[in-house]
Amino acid sequence: MNTDFINLTTENLAVEHLCCIIRSKKPHPGVEAKRQWLSDRIKEGHVFRKLNVKGCAFIEYAPLETAWVPIVGDNYYYVYCLWVAGTPKGNGYGRELIEYCLTDAKAKGKSGVCMLGAKKQKSWLSDQSFVKKFGFEVVDTTNDGYELLALSFDGTTPEFAPKAKTSKIENQDLTIYYDMQCPYICQYIETIRRYCEVNEVSVSFIQVDTLQKAKELPCVFNNWGVFYKGCFETVNLLNEAYLKRILKK
């Protein structure tokens, strides 16, 4: 098994690929936006650890206090993403990556590790059945089927921020909250923008560009949140077919 992993740093961030979208020649707007976002987050203790191959096998996590999600708690790590796909899949890299995170948390005296999940597994969320094998349990829920999973080392647990459970906004238009953490976001925004222009659909894009904005969001969030007719719909990135289903409601 290849156990050669590398952590992104402010020194190697400009030259290392980001796993999700690998570009070796032409610049990619989503990748460059992610690099810029990471350049500030790494200084806050954000960890991006990946298999040192040209493929997709990585984990991304941060201290909960500085994680851009509407989740609150003391002394936890928050896992944004754990993803192994393509050729690396099936080699035990997911286990190595989550075990690295748990070991890191214990070494730093953390109270535990948490992540976003759902009653029914959803795309764009890490495999919750996988992390439950390591002892993660549901510690908080929302009325729309999302869950907060946590592995506590000391009995304490994090929770969704109060506003995250409201899942309502005044704006009735299609409304999308986003940040630049995921390199796919730029292209999905453009897809939705074009569709809405052609089909005369009113849409509002709200960039979450500060930690405070993230902690006060009116919905669960990993880097994307969609509302329609004032109601929260999903944290999934939207392709055109998914968007059409939402707009039919």
* Mean pLDDT confidence for 98-117: 97
Phi-psi region of 134 (alpha: psi -120 to 50; beta: other; left: phi over 0): alpha
96/211 Cα distance (integer angstroms): 29
Residue 27 reports pLDDT greater than 90: no
197/189 Cα distance (integer angstroms): 12
The amino acid occupying position 95 is R
Confidence of residue 54 (pLDDT cuts 50, 70, 90): confident
* Mean pLDDT confidence for 230-238: 94
Beta bridge partners of 85: 56
The residue among 20 and 245 whose pLDDT is bigger is: 245
Question: b/e for 85-107, b at 16 or more Cβ within 10 A?
Answer: eeebeeeebbebbbebbbebbee
| Average model confidence (pLDDT) across the chain | 92
Q: What is the pLDDT of residue 208?
A: 97
Residue 87 reports pLDDT greater than 90: no
Residue 34 reports pLDDT greater than 60: yes
Confidence of residue 31 (pLDDT cuts 50, 70, 90): confident
